[in-house]
Amino acid sequence: MTFLHHADHVVRGNHSGWPFVAEITPFTFSLLGYVLILPGIYLTARGRSIPGYHLFVAVVGLALLGFVHFVPTGDYEAPIRDIYLVYESPLTGVLALGVLAGLIASVAALAIVALGAIRARSRTPEVS
């Protein structure tokens, strides 16, 4: 979902940044999110249980998504104005909003699952 959302930024041509346009913008820094996401995917695929790491990534992700898309600052990305209305096709605009909603839902789900794993781990007695 993160990749799809970044691709949507590039296709829309607004709220994008380097390496797709010459300027360094918040979009550019958002690409650093992959630095957090990829190690979690790799370690989980290798069988490591790292719910604390996943919770950290989810909380940071939700905070950034919420701030960038919903807090009305000078250059925030308003979902209707800057995503939906940019596309000529209402269907494409709805799909782009769906990608954003799916991204937020998937990051929230990651937080919920990570919290559940942390709680389950804390209830399991340690074997000596």
Instruction: Indicate the pLDDT class of residue 127, thresholds 50, 70 and 90.
Output: low
CB 85 within 8 A of CB 93: yes
In the block, tokens 């590039």 appear at: 10
Distances (CA, A) of 119 to 28, 54, 107, 123, 124: 35, 14, 18, 6, 9
Instruction: Indicate the pLDDT class of residue 128, thresholds 50, 70 and 90.
Output: low
- pLDDT single digits (tens) 11-63: 988 888 899 988 998 888 889 999 999 999 999 999 999 999 999 999 999 99
Instruction: Indicate the pLDDT class of residue 126, thresholds 50, 70 and 90.
Output: low
- pLDDT single digits (tens) 60-118: 999 999 988 888 887 778 888 888 899 999 999 999 999 999 999 999 999 999 999 99
Confidence at residue 120, expressed as pLDDT on a 0 to 100 scale: 93
